[in-house]
Each structure stands twice: as structure tokens, then as C-alpha cells.
Amino acid sequence: MADNESQVVTDSGRGSISDLWKKEDYWAIWLGFILLVVGMILYFPNAPEGTDKKIAEANASLEAESAKAPFKTIAWYKAVDAKKKLKATSSPVGKAIKKFTSKPHKWSSNPFNALFMGEEAAKAKQAKAQTKYDAAKKSEADALTAAKTAEDSAAAKNFEDESLNTAAAKAIGDWRTAHSKTSSAKKKAGAKPYNQLVYLIGLMIALAIFFGIGMLAMGHSMPKFMIGFLFVFLISVLAFAAASNSTMKHYGIGYAAWAIIFGLVISNTIGTPKWVMPAVQTEYYIKTGLVLLGAEILFGKILSIGIPGIFVAWVVTPTVLITTYLFGQKIIKIPSKTLNITISSDMSVCGVSAAIATAAACRAKKEELTLAVGLSLVFTSVMMIVMPAFIKAVGMPHVLGGAWMGGTIDATGAVAAAGAFLSDKALYVAATIKMIQNVLIGVIAFCVAVYWCAKVDRVEGQRVSWMEIWYRFPKFVIGFIAASIIFSLIYQSMGKDVAYVLVDHGAIRGLSKIFRGWFFCLAFASIGLATNFRELKEYFKGGKPFILYICGQTFNLILTLTMAYIMFYLVFPEITAKI
């Protein structure tokens, strides 16, 4: 990642006003913010009709139900469901953007289905899924009837009979499980024909122009960049297509891994063609993606599960990160500090996304990021399978198990899979803990960038002035943090419910998240295309990164479990009871 010295604002020792249009850090900020502003313009005026009224009705119902029963009633869940449906992404503009920017679709045996599905194939898929959907609907209806009967029985005793309350809560829980299955089955039964190829060509041209303008301003040849971009984009499409294979989805092998693998295969066999190299701009793509990611770091989310969540995610995680880093430096003696911090952050925070942010903040080498992503991938797949099985086997309470998995399994997607596999309750806790941990990325990237400028990158014994730190500071981090602060403030000012509609399911999921995914994929494809396998091997010498990961993760597992138990069962049992 740090190959492109001329393109990095840091280390110059001085700055000039022309940096604003000549350096990629600033271009990452401008391009990222253009997309964020477009997202706000497109989605903020497009709330579904009657949003305020529907939210008010749902909240009134929630308030009444909350004061009525000692468990979450059917009406309570229905009110939450009503709020959940309100999304700005459901507007015509949201649907159009989704169609135009969509990644290759899920497929199982025919790879062409990633890009194309005809009318007949869609109908056959629909028919196959319809049977399951009908069965799921029936199960849900039966579960709802049983839940209503149980709730009525509890209500008849004025919710004072403990055993009836417990029975009602369990019956309602069963109904919610059936409800989740129906929702998934409904999605599959709604299969429609598609031809993504046309849209992908359009998207490729749009992105080539989007990044090409910046390249031109930075003094590069725009036509050469655009020609090379065609190849990098093609690798990215292939990576998304491979990640969309159903088996790969089961293992959690996502586009990042595939983009690196495909790039590596090309660069280490036939060699990356010279005409592609002008578009192999890892830092440019990654920094622009990170500015967009900043908007997804919403600080209001950290209170989603109350104080226990903050302790599990925001106390344990930095403790594990710092301890693992120090362990790597002092005990294992990892030769590269940037490799050490990238692996430590990847392992303790949230896998690939944390590795990207940290690696960019400390200017780690592309091989180091590749290694961190590879380690995370292997351990995530194993932990996703082993942890829920272990929790079930030892009979661990699902709130504790959920908090444990949310705090320790690296990859965000794997946390959802492992949590949901255990139970809905475990999913809610695991996902919320992981989400709070995700928010930590912003703070960690900022602290790592400052620490590297002030401490690591200075000459021994040298005192670094604030101006010097500013000159060296990776400027895109400012855009990353600014996006996070601005979107967090907007989120708070709107209030949670409206922000869910316009920010969460509008500007973020409807635009920034989509492009951030594309940009990261382009970055990983570029890493693969510019990496020599022999160089990569050097970083794994002595298996030190592996030892660091194992030791750090072991410490993480012990500390997270201990903290989760103390917080959810000893200090705040009343919060656990609510979940």
C-alpha cells in the first residue's frame, strides 16, 4: 500500500495549497463527500408517505405494550415490524440506484446466473421457492395462533402468573423464529429475471470517469487510467461473482479474498499487463472507500445495548488490541510494526474492515494487509462453525454466548450467521456488540494515524512538532472522521426512528455502502495485481503472524467472555432480563 510514495501526502515535511487537488488523500475526501452529498440529496426528501404518522402510531403502541406485560407482546413486535418497513431505499430512486449499482447475484451451480437470469429460469426458481414459502407461511400462522392463545391466557391472569408469562414469552419467541424463516423464504420466492451485464458496463464507465477526473488533476493520463480500469473492474466483477457463489457464502469467503486471489493469480502467472498498471491505484480506491465508510460509523449506535455493550466492545477491544500489539513487539518480535498493528486490529476489532482502515492509517504495505485478510478469513470460518456448537454443547446462556461471539468473531457477516444459528436472542446481542465494535474503527484509525506520525515514523530521540505531525498525517483520515461526525450528528438530530428511514436505510445503505463495496473490491484487486507471491512469503517467515493471531485471539476469547459475564450477569442483570 505504501508503494506510491509520490501519491501520499505524508512524509513530505511540508504542505502546499496545491495538495488539495494534486494529492490522492484530498481527492479521496472530495470524491467521498460528493457521493455522500448526492446520497443525502437523493434520499432525505424521499421518506415513504406518512412516515411520521406511522412512527408515532408504532411508538404509542410500543409504549402501551411496554407498560402492560412483563414480556414483549405480539403487538410490541408488530409495532417494531411496522417501523422496520419504513425505508427511503424503497422509493423509486432507491430502487433505480440498486438496479444500476448491483453486484453480481447469488448463484449455486451455473456461474452465468451471477450476471444473467432469463424469464424461464426465474419462474422455475420462483416455483421451487414458492412451496417452501407456502409451508413457512403456514408454520408462521400456526405459531402466531399459539402465541396469541398463550398471551391471552397470561393476560387473563393480568400477567401475574409467572408460568403463564414464561409460556407466552416462549410461544412468542417461536413465532418470531417462524417469522424470520418466512421473510427469507419470501425473498427467494420473489426471484425476478435480470441482466446485470448492461448495468455493469454503465457502472464501469461511470466509475472510470469518476476516478479518472482525480487522476487527471493529479497529473496522470486519464485515457491510460480508463483503459487499465477496464481490467481492474473486470477482476472486481469476477471477485463479486465468486463471493456470490452459495457455497462461498456459507464459508464467509467474501469479495476481498477473491479479489486478492484473482489479482495474485494473474500477477504471478502471466504477469499484470503494463497497460493495466495506471489503474492499479490501491490507495486511491481504499481511501475513497474509507471516507464513505466514515459515514457508516454512527456514534449514536454505541448505546444500542446499554452500558454492558460499551464495556464488552469498547473496553475489551482496545485492551486486546494494545496488548496484542505489545506482545507482538516485545515477545514475538514481529519485524514490521505496521504488520503487527494491522493483524492486531483485524483480530481484535472486526476483521477485514478494521484491517483496511488501520493499514491505511499507518501506511502498511499491501502484502501486510493481504496477510491480515488471509488470517482473518481462515479463523473466521473456523470460529463461525465451532463457537455456536461449543455454546450449545456447554449450555451457555444465549445472551452471554451472543456477546462472546459478537466480541470475538472477526468478520461481521460471520457474527450474524453464528448468532442467528444459536437463536434470535443470541443474534440480537451478537450483532449489536459487533456493530458497536464496528463503530470503534473510526477511533482506532485516528489514534493509529496520530501515533504513527508522532512516535513510530520519527527518528529515535527526535522531538516532533505539531506542524510536523500535521504534515505527516494521512489527510484522508480527516475526511473519514469528518464523515463519521457529520453523519452521527445528522443521525442524532433526526432522532433514531427517522434516521433509520433516511440515514440508515437511505443515504448509507442506498448509496455510500454500495460504492464503498465497489471501491474496496477495486482496491483488493489492485493489491493482488501488484503483489509478488515471493514477497508475500517473506512476511510469513517463522509463522510469527500466525502465532500473534492465535495468542491475541486466545486472550480476546478469555477477556470477552469474562467481561460479558460480569457485565450482563453480575453488574447489569436487569438489562439482560429485558433482552
Partner 1 sequence: MLRGVVRLLLCVLVILLFMFGVAPLMERAPFIRPIVQFIEERDIDAGALYYTDIEEFSEAAIHMENTMDYPPLDRPE
Report if residue 148 touches partner 1, rule: CB under 8 A: no
Taking CB under 8 A as the binding criterion, the range among 29-37, 72-80, 200-208, 537-545 that sits at the site for partner 1 is: 72-80
Q: Does 271 bind partner 1 (CB under 8 A)?
A: yes
- In this chain, which stretch among 208-216, 219-227, 512-520, 551-559 interacts with partner 1, using CB under 8 A? 512-520
Site membership for partner 1, residue 313 (CB under 8 A): no
Per-residue mark of binding to partner 1, 83-122 (x: CB under 8 A): xx---------------------x----------------
Count residues near partner 1 (CB under 8 A).
94
Nine cell digits for residue 133: 414459502
By C-beta, is 160 or 460 nearer to partner 1? 160
Smallest Cα–Cα separation from 179: which of 121, 232, 239, 139? 139
Rank residues 476 and 500 by Cβ distance to partner 1 and give the closer one: 500
Alpha-carbon distance of 389 to 536, in angstroms, equals: 34
When the beta carbons of 79 and 218 are compared against partner 1, the nearer one is 79
Q: Coil, strand, or helix at residue 167? A: helix
**Nearer Cβ to partner 1 (8/295):** 295
Which of 100, 118, 102 minimizes the C-alpha distance to 110? Answer: 118
Q: Which residues lie closer than 8 Å to 294 by C-beta, 6 or more apart?
A: 32, 442, 479, 480, 481, 482, 483, 484, 487
Residue whose CB is less far from partner 1, 9 or 55? 55
Of the candidate residues 237, 418, 448, 483, the single one contacting partner 1 (CB under 8 A): 418
Q: Which amino acid is at 515?
A: F
The residues that bridge with 107 in the sheet, in sequence order, are: 245
* Cβ closest to partner 1, residue 23 vs residue 72: 72
Distances from the Cα of 134 to the Cαs of 118, 140, 186, 340, in angstroms? 24, 10, 9, 52
List helix spans (H) across 190-327. 196-217, 222-243, 246-251, 255-267, 282-296, 306-310, 316-327
Tell whether residue 346 is a contact of partner 1 (CB under 8 A). no
Of 241-270, which residues contact partner 1 (CB under 8 A)? 242-243, 245-257, 261, 265-266, 268-270
**Cα–Cα distance measured from residue 230 to residue 461, given in angstroms and rounded to the nearest whole number:** 48
Based on the number of CB atoms within 10 Å of its own CB, is 412 exposed (0-12), middle (13-18) or buried (19 or more)?
A: buried
Strand locations in 359-423, DSSP E? none
Query: Could you say which of 15, 48, 374, 413 contacts partner 1 (CB under 8 A)?
Result: 413
270 phi and psi angles, rounded to 5 deg: -90, -10
Beta-bridge partners for 194:
117
Pick the stretch among 23-31, 68-76, 331-339, 455-463 that binds partner 1 (CB under 8 A).
68-76
Helix (H) or strand (E) holding 447: helix 424-451
Among 407, 479, 506, 517, binds partner 1 (CB under 8 A): 517
Q: Any contact of residue 505 with partner 1 (CB under 8 A)?
A: yes
Using the minimum distance from each CB to partner 1, give the nearer residue, 204 or 511.
511
Near partner 1 in 2-41, by CB under 8 A: none
Which residue of 125, 287, 301, 475 would you call a contact of partner 1, by CB under 8 A? Answer: 301
Q: Where does this chain touch partner 1 (CB under 8 A) — which range of 10-18, 323-331, 428-436, 450-458?
A: 428-436
Distance of closest approach, residue 357 Cβ to partner 1, in angstroms: 10
32, 39, 388, 474: residue in contact with partner 1 (rule CB under 8 A): 388
Under the binding rule (CB under 8 A), the answer on residue 396 touching partner 1 is no
Binding status of residue 390 toward partner 1 by CB under 8 A: no
d(CA 453, CA 362): 8
Residue 470: what residue type? W
**CB of residue 495 to partner 1, shortest distance in Å:** 11
Q: Which is nearer to partner 1, 8 or 115 (CB)?
A: 115
Where on the phi/psi map is residue 561: left (φ > 0), alpha (ψ -120 to 50), or beta?
Answer: alpha
Nearer to partner 1, 251 or 451 (CB): 251
Site string for partner 1, 460-499 (x = CB under 8 A): ------------------------------------x---
**How long, in residues, is the chain?**
579
User: C-alpha distances in angstroms, 284 versus 13, 33, 430?
Assistant: 21, 14, 33
Q: In this chain, which of 276, 305, 347, 502 binds partner 1, going by CB under 8 A?
A: 305
Which residues in 156-175 contact partner 1 (CB under 8 A)? 159, 165-166, 169
Determine the Cα–Cα distance for residues 421 and 433; give it in Å rounded to an integer: 16
